[in-house]
Amino acid sequence: MNIRDIVNRDLVNLANCESEPIHIPGSIQPHGFLLGLNAETYSIEYCSQNTVDHIGIAPDAVLGKKLSDLFDQSQSDRFDEYADVEIDVARPFVFTKNDIPYNTTVHQSGETLILEFEPFPDGSIGLPDLYAQTRNFVSLMEKHSHLQDLCKDIATEMRKITGYDRVMIYKFDAEYNGEVIAESKREDLNSFAGQKYPHTDIPAQARQLYIRNQLRLIADVNYTPVPLLTREKENVSNSSVDLSLSVLRSVSPIHLEYLRNMGVGATLTISLLQKDRLWGLIACHHYTPKILPHYTRLSALLQGHFLTSQIAVREVAEEFEVGQIVEKALSDALSLLHQNDNFIEDYFREPSLLKVANATGFVIYYKGKLYQNGSVPEPEYLLPLLKTLSEKYPSEGLHTERILDVYEEGEKVAKYAAGFIYHSITAGTPDGILWLRKERRETITWAGNPHKAVVVNEDGVTRLSPRKSFELWMEEVKNKSTDWRKAEIHAAASFAYALQKHINLRYVKSQEQSNRVLNEELKAANKELANLNWISTHDLKEPLRKIQIFASKILDREKTDISAQVKDSVERMRFAAEKMQLLIEDILTYSKTGNMDKVYESVDLNMILTNVQDELSEIIEEKNAVIHTEVLPTLKVIPFQVHQLFVNLVSNALKFSVQDTNPVVNIQLKQVTASQIPDSKGPAQQPFYAISVQDNGIGFESEYATRIFDVFQRLHPGNKYPGTGIGLAICKKIMENHAGYVDAKSEPGDGATFTVYFPLEQSS
């Protein structure tokens, strides 16, 4: 029988180091031995060369045999049952040979069942006290509120459990550079706390293995690898066995050389994962060879799981602390914004604007003027930055901690703006808002020069060599600020969005004031219809046209650069503008017809009310409103006008709701006579349908019950209840067109009831 090894002897060099096949080394560490069984037949197809050292049987007498040929039949039978239903790394099977017990961990690799045998290091099982370990961890968890403090005590606890000379907890950054954030060590050892290690120390394929196999043991860095052997077969390569999940898997020669250069004799590494990503490592170092018993390893792994369970919780808690601060600042800033029309000009120096993002500088650029707060660059440097950002990011937000990543001239402003959060105010203009952070020059302490050394061996082949020096190596980082936290980024975006709405509302208000003046000038001709005609033709149609054009430009030109959320918002904006423009056109058409014959249709008012509720579904859902309605009649009406009538009445009931109270709207029907209608001019006994819309909102003073239907009459000026003041005037005009009436009854705090009266002879 021809036997050969499957050792991977590919040379690791500069060209292939990042893809070194460390999962298929073809060899193992010598403190145990390995058998590879065919998963179907349980025939031994692979074995390590050191079987004779452990069980006294040479590889040629092992390969091709069954387990019952190596161990007694009772052990083989019990293993068959174990492999069928009980394979569990936490509970290894125990084989005994020559009175020596072996913990045997089992896993499947492709078509091969891998059995790894390790003799008990001290001859006993040594089960850990899991209750005491869990109790200690809970005590530490309650003791500390910050993650780093918890890590320090976990490192100490891990060292007690394992007995290693040094235990370190690494945390990786976005580029997988590692930093020692906690350490427990022998008193005579130098501390590694705070030192950083470059991402090249743990290549990408090694990180993947740390994710798949969360515990890794090297018992002696100076071990001699033991080859895996197999029988040669015709037309079958048997080139490799994937040992990714193996306990005994041999280690990359580069990594072993790295550890020897550090003076380390043995290691234990436990992975810390978050969302399937390697967050960090618990790295245990011993300065002489050390074999850790299986159950002690599991105890250490449990400690790693404990810590992993707390990482997200503690990071969220720390983020929450920051979030509370910025939310308070955001609330203060928004309160000022909503209460002051001239916020930009009068309140741009408010401290809360800096605290919204914990920034050192704040800038608004609006209509060619800079409004500056805190530490900011000179205008000659700031204006080019704003111009560049408005061109590159016209419709999206941006944040960075490294200004040179997005702005080539960044060194000129890095002192005050090494990091920033930017939002455009008006697309297509340089108008924008910036939160700035000063440069934080930082000296990073690397554990040795972070660049891999390149050496040429005796054959003249260039290869990678791990660092031989771990003396501290300092690197100064410039043009960088502290990182922006999620809460700060979100708060800045919220304020920027509110500022955009504020500016738009200021524009609308200025237009509204202009319209008031125009209304006075045109009152003699036709106080209401002429004014609506003028607004529709000039003041309102043009802004709506611009909104549609700008929205279309954003969707057509920038659609690949904007998020789905922004795209959806712009689509809604365009749809709303189109709908409003259609309504204005309808009103304009109606006003122009004057005394022309009206086109009435027989319409079920229940259908109209259903359509109205569909149209207002978002605000109904947002306010958790409840609308109760009785069955309404079928009338001959002008459909679009009656639809608008109910839209105005129901939306007002929802708009003027009491804070923290769910709106309840009751729509009721009854039959009355003209004598029961205020200001009725018809015969006293003429029958009418009275449809009332009653709400539980804020109400209003009864003295406004008549004035509220005049054009541009608003009882609540300001931003809390936005509107133009023509909605109820339109309702009154619609009822006049239907030979009907409308009135209102209310008291402050008791809600309001609006009643519309349709003459009965219009019923179908």
User: Which amino acid is it at 678?
Assistant: P
For residue 648, pLDDT beyond 80: yes
CA distance 479 to 437: 11
pLDDT at 93 over 70: yes
Q: Which CATH class is domain 340-440+479-498?
A: alpha beta
Residue with token string 């690799």:
109
Rounded to whole angstroms, the Cα distance separating 211 from 269 reads: 12
pLDDT at 232: 81
Mean pLDDT for 490-497 is 90
Domain 3-119 has CATH 3.30.450.20: yes
Specify the pLDDT at position 727: 75
**pLDDT at 525 (0 to 100):** 47
Q: What is the pLDDT of residues 277-329, one digit of tens each?
A: 899 999 999 999 999 888 888 888 888 888 888 887 777 777 777 778 888 88
The beta-strand segments (E) located in 425-489 are 432-437, 442-447, 453-456, 462-465, 472-477
Query: Domain 601-762 belongs to what architecture?
Result: 2-Layer Sandwich (3.30)
pLDDT digit string, tens, across residues 446-482: 555 555 444 444 544 444 445 454 554 445 567 788 8
Strands (E), 275-307: 277-286
- Whether 236 has a pLDDT exceeding 70, the answer reads no
pTM of the model: 0.55
Give the chain's mean pLDDT: 81
pLDDT per position as a tens digit, 17-73? 555 566 778 899 999 999 999 988 889 999 999 999 999 999 999 999 999 999 999
CB 425 within 8 A of CB 396: no
d(CA 752, CA 701): 10
CB 228 within 8 A of CB 34: yes
Residue 631 vs residues 241, 670, 724: alpha-carbon distances, Å: 76, 10, 32
> Would you state the pLDDT for residue 218?
94
List alpha helices for 426-528, DSSP H.
486-526
Can you give the pLDDT at residue 135? Answer: 73
- pLDDT recorded at residue 724: 56
Fold for 130-222+241-318, please state it. Beta-Lactamase (3.30.450)
**pLDDT score at 713:** 58
Residues 6+ apart with CB under 8 A from 385: 377, 407, 409, 413, 417
* pLDDT on residue 444: 54
The CA radius of gyration of the chain, in Å to the nearest whole number, is 39
pLDDT at 710 over 80: no
- DSSP-derived pairing of the beta strands 93-97 and 100-109: antiparallel
Which tens digits make up the pLDDT trace of 577-626?
A: 776 776 666 556 445 444 455 678 899 999 999 999 999 999 999 889 99
Rounded to whole angstroms, how far apart are CA atoms 482 and 602? 68
Evaluate whether 340-440+479-498 and 601-762 have a shared fold.
no
460: left (phi over 0), alpha (psi -120 to 50) or beta: left
Residue 635 has pLDDT above 80, yes or no: yes
**Tokens linked to 100:** 């020596």
The b/e string for 356-395 (b: 16+ C-beta within 10 A; e otherwise) is bbbbbbbbbbbeeeebbbbbbbeeebbebbbeebbeebbb
Task: Characterize 76-113 residue by residue with b for buried, 16 or more Cβ atoms within 10 angstroms of its Cβ, and e for exposed.
Answer: beebeebbeeeeebeebbbbebeeebbbbbbbebeebb
Q: Which of 622, 629, 758, 745 is nearest to 690 (CA)?
A: 758
**What is the per-residue pLDDT for 592?**
47
Encoded amino acid at 668, one letter: Q
- Interval 418-434 mean pLDDT: 87
Identify which has the larger pLDDT, 506 or 119.
119
pLDDT at 595: 44
Judged against a pLDDT cut of 70, whether residue 445 lies above it is answered with no
Taking residues 411-420, report their average pLDDT.
Answer: 87
Distance CA 698, CA 700 (A): 7
Q: Where are the domains of the chain?
A: 3-119, 130-222+241-318, 340-440+479-498, 528-593, 601-762
- Kindly write down the DSSP assignment for every residue of 375-422, as one continuous string: S---HHHHHHHHHHHHHH-TTS-EEES-GGGT-TTGGGTHHHHSEEEE
State what percent of residues in the chain have pLDDT above 90: 28
Cα distances (angstroms) measured from residue 718 to each of 161, 506, 508, 709, 715 = 66, 10, 12, 19, 10
**pLDDT tens digits, one per residue of 379-405:** 998 999 988 988 888 878 899 988 888
User: Is the CB of residue 162 less than 8 Å from the CB of residue 284?
Assistant: yes
Nearest residue to 756 (alpha-carbon basis) of 657, 636, 667, 655: 667
Angle, to 10 degrees, between the axis of helix 486-526 and the axis of helix 541-557?
150
